[in-house]
């Protein structure tokens, strides 16, 4: 008896039940981009470390300059080179942005209000009431949690991690992914033209790029012809260093579809192998010992859809990420849509603007075959068409899953 197709929700829950974050390791902060924190980052020092000037100007004791008379310039303070000692009564210190405020000073007068004459300075009226001082610890105090466990480090969060003055960070190991594309017709891009019936291997290249964007480490990307004994040997080699093995193509039930049979001798235990979505029905998922198995459709749009819906969240969970998982949002369709009742459908969509209420508006082209490449170029994400609705009028609100941001 054939098992029933899994819904999106059922398949997502099954995958999540088989996934736990990978082990923890310590790496230099300089190698932290794209990694996921396994422990909070706390500030080793406050920021700023001292009360500092927020402007170029003169550090003074405000009560000393109330009369408007010239005052002596006692010295200079620069970032990394503070004024030595206590500010003398009735005097000023030339100071630059970011320099520590001299002891005894309580405000900074912007240089635009200063009239310098040799070793004295007079201040024009109207310089207050702002103090132009960033107080010690006003950004964060020593010991403050700057980044939480589960955060994926990017350019913005690396700024915070560096400001915490930590040299090393505790992260989850990156998932190791091996990718194999099957099919006698596949050729490396640039060489398909040399054989009359070859086609460029577009999908494995795209999946490898998406895997790296998701924080994974691609250990292998290869192609194999439809030869089961050779595929079985190659499967064993891929399993030696992979947390996830992704097979592209050969995922259906034809005589030459070997995505699942090639791993049978290695103990493949399937969790599911059919989905009630379009495109992506042949997606399969299982375990091979400690490794995870994912069989993606060979057609580019179908592979892109199933990666976005299932493989990407899988990578994030293995990485220990608790943020950065993109969630669907509602958008408005700019055209009426038709859909065949049955499986829910995910179509590439492009954001084209906002309506008069500020809601995002997307454009979906006509229904396309999952082997077509053009719909992916320039699209911003996927729109979900419910399986039980045949027609959607102009302006329908739909779930939109962005590829980025």
Average confidence score pLDDT of the chain: 91
The pairs formed by 86-94 with CB atoms below 8 angstroms and a separation of 24 or more are 87/59, 87/60, 87/61, 89/61, 89/64, 90/64, 91/64, 92/58, 92/59, 92/60, 92/65, 92/121, 93/58, 93/59, 93/60, 94/58
Question: Taking the model in full, what pTM does it have?
Answer: 0.84
Query: Does the pLDDT value for residue 257 go beyond 60?
Result: yes
Q: Which of 150-164, 235-249, 321-335 has the least mean pLDDT?
A: 321-335
- pLDDT tier at 368, thresholds 50, 70, 90: low
Please work out, in degrees rounded to the nearest 5, the angle formed at the alpha carbon of residue 183 by the alpha carbons of 305 and 287.
Answer: 60
> Which pLDDT does position 378 carry in this prediction?
82
Tell me where in the chain the CATH 3.40.980.10 domain(s) lie.
Answer: 8-22+174-319
Range 257-280 average pLDDT: 91
Cβ burial of 319 (10 Å; 0-12, 13-18, 19+) is buried
In terms of DSSP bridges, do strands 199-200 and 269-272 run parallel, antiparallel, or are they unpaired?
unpaired
Task: Return d(Cα 58, Cα 261) in angstroms, integer.
Answer: 77
Task: Convert the pLDDT of each residue in 31-80 to its tens digit.
Answer: 999 999 999 999 999 999 999 999 999 999 998 887 778 999 999 999 99
How big is the chain, counted in residues? 405
User: Which token pair is 365?
Assistant: 């082209």
Task: Convert the pLDDT of each residue in 332-354 to its tens digit.
Answer: 999 999 888 989 999 999 999 99
Distance from the first to the final alpha carbon of the chain: 43
Task: Return d(Cα 83, Cα 85) in angstroms, integer.
Answer: 6
Q: Which fold has domain 329-402?
A: Beta-clip (2.40.340)
Please work out, in degrees rounded to the nearest 5, the angle formed at the alpha carbon of residue 327 by the alpha carbons of 321 and 332.
Answer: 165
Contact 135, 51 (CB under 8 A): yes
Higher pLDDT: 355 or 375? It is 355
Query: Does the pLDDT value for residue 251 go beyond 70?
Result: no
Task: Return d(Cα 235, Cα 257) in angstroms, integer.
Answer: 15
- pLDDT tier at 367, thresholds 50, 70, 90: low
- pLDDT tier at 287, thresholds 50, 70, 90: very high
> Which pLDDT does position 126 carry in this prediction?
85
- pLDDT tier at 322, thresholds 50, 70, 90: confident
Q: What is the CATH number of domain 8-22+174-319?
A: 3.40.980.10
Q: Which of 73-82, 137-146, 245-254, 274-283 has the least mean pLDDT?
A: 245-254
Task: Return d(Cα 150, Cα 21) in angstroms, integer.
Answer: 10
Task: Convert the pLDDT of each residue in 134-174 to its tens digit.
Answer: 999 999 999 999 999 999 999 999 999 999 999 999 999 99
Cβ burial of 403 (10 Å; 0-12, 13-18, 19+) is middle
> Which pLDDT does position 1 carry in this prediction?
37
CATH of 25-43+141-172, one of 3.40.50.970, 3.90.105.10, 3.40.605.10, 3.90.1150.10: 3.90.105.10
Task: Convert the pLDDT of each residue in 77-122 to its tens digit.
Answer: 999 999 999 999 999 999 999 999 999 999 999 999 999 999 999 9
Pick the closest to residue 29 from 171, 217, 180 (CA basis).
171
Q: Which CATH architecture has domain 52-134?
A: Beta Complex (2.170)
Phi-psi region of 164 (alpha: psi -120 to 50; beta: other; left: phi over 0): alpha
Task: Return d(Cα 49, Cα 138) in angstroms, integer.
Answer: 9
Exposure string over 83-108, b if 16+ CB within 10 A, otherwise e? beeebbeebbbbbbebbbbbebbebb
SS3 labels along 244-312: EEEEECCCCCCCCCCCCHHHHHHCCEEEECCECEECCCCCEEEEECCEEEEEECCCHHHHHHHHHHHHH
Which letter does DSSP use for residue 366 in this model? S
Query: Does the pLDDT value for residue 370 go beyond 60?
Result: no
Range 366-388 average pLDDT: 77
Q: For the chain, how are helix, strand and coil distributed in percent, rounded to 5?
A: 20, 35, 45
Task: Convert the pLDDT of each residue in 12-35 to its tens digit.
Answer: 999 999 999 999 999 999 999 999
User: Which token pair is 212?
Assistant: 């790296």
C-alpha 23 chain-centroid distance = 20
Identify the bridge partners of residue 269 per DSSP, sorted by sequence position: 287
Tell me where in the chain the CATH 2.170.190.11 domain(s) lie.
Answer: 52-134
381, containing H or E segment: strand 381-385
């Amino acid at each position: 008896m054939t098992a029933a197709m899994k819904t999106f929700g059922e398949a997502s829950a099954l995958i999540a039940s088989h996934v736990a974050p990978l082990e923890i390791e310590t790496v230099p902060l300089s190698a932290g981009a794209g990694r996921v924190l396994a422990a909070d980052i706390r500030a080793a020092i406050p920021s700023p470390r001292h009360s500092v000037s927020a402007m170029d100007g003169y550090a003074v004791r405000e009560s000393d300059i109330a009369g408007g008379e010239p005052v002596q310039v006692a010295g200079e303070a620069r970032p990394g080179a503070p004024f030595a000692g206590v500010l003398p009564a009735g005097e000023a210190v030339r100071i630059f942005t970011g320099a520590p405020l001299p002891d005894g000073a309580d405000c900074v007068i912007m240089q635009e209000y200063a009239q310098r004459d040799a070793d004295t300075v007079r201040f024009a009226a109207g310089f207050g009431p702002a103090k132009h001082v960033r107080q010690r610890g006003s950004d964060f105090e020593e010991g403050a949690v700057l980044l939480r466990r589960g955060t994926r480090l990017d350019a913005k969060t690396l700024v915070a991690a560096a400001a915490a003055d930590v040299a090393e960070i505790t992260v989850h190991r990156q998932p190791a992914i091996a990718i194999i594309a099957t099919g006698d017709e596949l050729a490396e891009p640039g060489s398909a033209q040399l054989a009359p019936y070859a086609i460029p291997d577009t999908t494995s290249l795209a999946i490898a790029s998406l895997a790296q964007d998701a924080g994974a480490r691609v250990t292998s990307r290869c192609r194999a012809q439809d030869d089961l004994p050779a595929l079985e040997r190659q499967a064993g080699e891929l399993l030696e260093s992979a947390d996830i093995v992704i097979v592209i193509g050969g995922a259906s039930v034809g005589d030459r579809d070997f995505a699942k049979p090639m791993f049978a001798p290695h103990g493949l235990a399937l969790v599911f192998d059919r989905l009630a979505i379009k495109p992506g029905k042949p997606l399969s998922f299982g375990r091979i010992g400690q490794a995870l198995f994912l069989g993606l459709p060979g057609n580019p749009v179908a592979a892109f859809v199933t990666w976005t819906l299932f493989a990407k969240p899988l990578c994030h969970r293995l990485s220990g990420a608790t943020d950065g998982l993109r969630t669907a949002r509602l958008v408005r369709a700019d055209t009426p849509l038709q859909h065949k009742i049955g499986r829910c459908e995910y179509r590439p969509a492009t954001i084209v603007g906002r309506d008069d209420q500020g809601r995002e508006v997307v454009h979906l082209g006509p229904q396309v075959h999952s082997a077509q490449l053009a719909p992916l170029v320039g699209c911003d994400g996927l729109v979900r068409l419910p399986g039980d609705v045949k027609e959607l009028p102009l302006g329908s609100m739909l779930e939109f899953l962005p590829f980025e941001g």
